Structure 1
Amino acid sequence: MELRVLQYFLAVCQEESISKAAQTLYLSQPTLSRQLKDLEKELGKQLFIRGNRKIALTEEGMLLRTRAEEILTLVGKTKNDIISSDEHLTGEVVIGSAETRGVKELVTVMKSLQSHYPALRFSIISGDETQVLEQLENGLIDTGIISGTVNNHKYQVLPLHYTDHLGLLMRKDDPLSQTDAIHISDLKNLPLIISRQMANERLLEQYLHLSKSDCRVVAKTNLLFNASLMVEEGLGYCLCYEGIIHTDDASALTFKSIEPAITFPLKMVWKSAIQMSKPTQKFIDALTNYEKRLQ
């Protein structure tokens, strides 16, 4: 299986048409069709369902699309890591992180590094903690920002200065907004909007000590912005971290902390058993020094 053929395959997936993909690849349609048939023959599986106007992927085709994207990403990243030099640092540092205001610490370091190495690039890939660790395990990201625990034999850990505070996002005209803080007992039977990670990690039971009968979860989402729209429309109250959604004078929303405080210190993690690329190692060193200055 050649990388070139995987690129052809992904082009067809994107265009949903062999003829359109052939145009973007500057290939003849018969040539591209033959390459795809050879790929299906090599794998022993049908990858496409060919329709009159568009083609769709089979289950095996969808799996190959995911793997092909991962393979080509790793190839490009490996190439950049190898050609990068210490003096003229180039390449990309890929960081996985959930939505958190703590990313500002990383951005401060990114800005400082880019002033010295203009060709250095950064990517932040959003995802919940499970997704971040999965991408880290598969080599799709260099480091991850999480708040949970990890195997210290498997991962290197750098504690960050920032700590997420859990609270409730609500409308300013809601009666609860007049209170100084939200108590855990106030959450019982409220219509709650929570992240999918909170649902998966059973945060309501583990940290808030609320049983399923105490909670009324009306919606789950993986993007806090979408959750804020639900709150604006009066669907419910969003259980989230402070500082991610703006609640200034122009906003219809406000954030109230939960008491007693429920906090989640952030940390950056990366795999112990691999050789870091020069850009990633430079970023880790710079962030480590930055965190020491904050202590």
Structure 2
Amino acid sequence: MNFRILNYFLTVAHEKNITKAAEILHITQPTLSRQLMQLETALGVKLFDRDKHKFALTPSGQFLVERAREILNMVEKTTLDIQEQEHNLAGSIAMGAGEYQATEVLAKLIGGFQKQYAAVSFELFTSSSDLLHDKLDKGLLDVAILQAPVDTTNYDYLRLPIRETWCVLMRSDAPLASKNAITASDLSGLPIILPARLQARSEIFNWLSGDITKMRFIGNSNLLANTAVFVEQCGYYGISVQMPLLDEKRFTYRPLTPALHSDILLVWRRDRQQSLALQKFLQFAKCFLSIEQAPI
């Protein structure tokens, strides 16, 4: 298996038509068909169910699509990193972030770095801490900001100078919006959406303590943007860290009491070869955060 054949495979999987895929790839149809059959032979599995010119993916083919995309993205990123080493500091840094207030610190950090190194670009991927952690492990991200608790066994990290405050997200006209802070008993019987991350739910369950049996849990959500839709449309309540940029006329955050906080870490793999751009960024981050660091 080589990268060229993986690209052929992804093109056919996307187009679902061997003739159209061959035109896009600028090769003959027989050549493309032969390459796909060789790939199936090498893997020992059937990747397509062929019906004349229509190619439908088998379960094995669907699995390979996801892996092939990851492999080719990694190849492209590695190529850019190698090319960057041969020129003035340039290249791309793949970065992950959740929906945190701490993202404002990240924006200041990146902005300050790019004033010195304008040719370095950033690819920002937004998701939950668990998925970001997985992408770091696979080498698809260089660095990420993750919400504690985080397993840092194989990682180095910097602590950001801000802590996330756990709150209840609600509609601005909700009955609890008149309160300054929300206790566990206030939530008794109300429809609640929890974060999807297991570690986060564990901290919330500890906070609820003896009131947990009185709770009405509707479901879990991994991104606050989706939670906000259900809050607005259904009148649900979401327990989450406070997300910036929500419309204050439509939504209200109220902090939990007793207060519940989470640290945010800037994390990277310690056993990975780092591009020069990433090395410079981490050096800049250490200096920047030491200046920005303030008592929590």
TM-score normalised to the size of structure 2? Answer: 0.91
Confirm whether residue 16 of structure 1 aligns to residue 16 of structure 2.
yes
**Rounded Cα–Cα distance in structure 2 between residues aligned with 1:16 and 1:136:** 32
**Same amino acid, percent of matched pairs:** 33
Deviations 1:22-57 (A, max 9, x none): 222122222212211110011110011234675332
**Rounded Cα–Cα distance in structure 2 between residues aligned with 1:186 and 1:245:** 26
SS in 2 for 1:66: helix
Aligned AA (1:25): L
What are the residue-to-residue correspondences of 1:276-291 with 2, within 5 Å?
A: 276-291=274-289
What are the residue-to-residue correspondences of 1:1-295 with 2, within 5 Å?
A: 1-51=1-51, 54-85=54-85, 88-198=88-198, 201-209=201-209, 213-248=213-248, 251-295=249-293
Aligned AA (2:101): R
> Contact 2:128/2:223 (CA < 8 Å) preserved in 1?
no
> Contact 2:185/2:211 (CA < 8 Å) preserved in 1?
no
**Rounded Cα–Cα distance in structure 2 between residues aligned with 1:47 and 1:210:** 53
SS in 1 for 2:111: helix
SS in 1 for 2:39: helix
> Contact 2:174/2:235 (CA < 8 Å) preserved in 1?
no
Moved more, 88-97 or 78-87: 78-87
TM-score normalised to the size of structure 1? Answer: 0.91
Aligned AA (1:174): A
Aligned AA (2:71): I
Q: How many residues align?
A: 293
SS in 2 for 1:213: helix
> Contact 2:170/2:251 (CA < 8 Å) preserved in 1?
yes
Aligned AA (1:143): V
**Pairwise CA distance, 1:15:** 2.1
Structure 2 CA distance for partners of 1:191 and 1:117, relative to 1, 3 Å: same
**Rounded Cα–Cα distance in structure 2 between residues aligned with 1:107 and 1:267:** 15
**Pairwise CA distance, 1:220:** 2.4
SS in 1 for 2:213: coil
**Rounded Cα–Cα distance in structure 1 between residues aligned with 2:258 and 2:203:** 15
**Rounded Cα–Cα distance in structure 1 between residues aligned with 2:53 and 2:194:** 40
Structure 2 CA distance for partners of 1:49 and 1:235, relative to 1, 3 Å: farther
**Rounded Cα–Cα distance in structure 2 between residues aligned with 1:252 and 1:261:** 24
Structure 2 CA distance for partners of 1:11 and 1:260, relative to 1, 3 Å: same
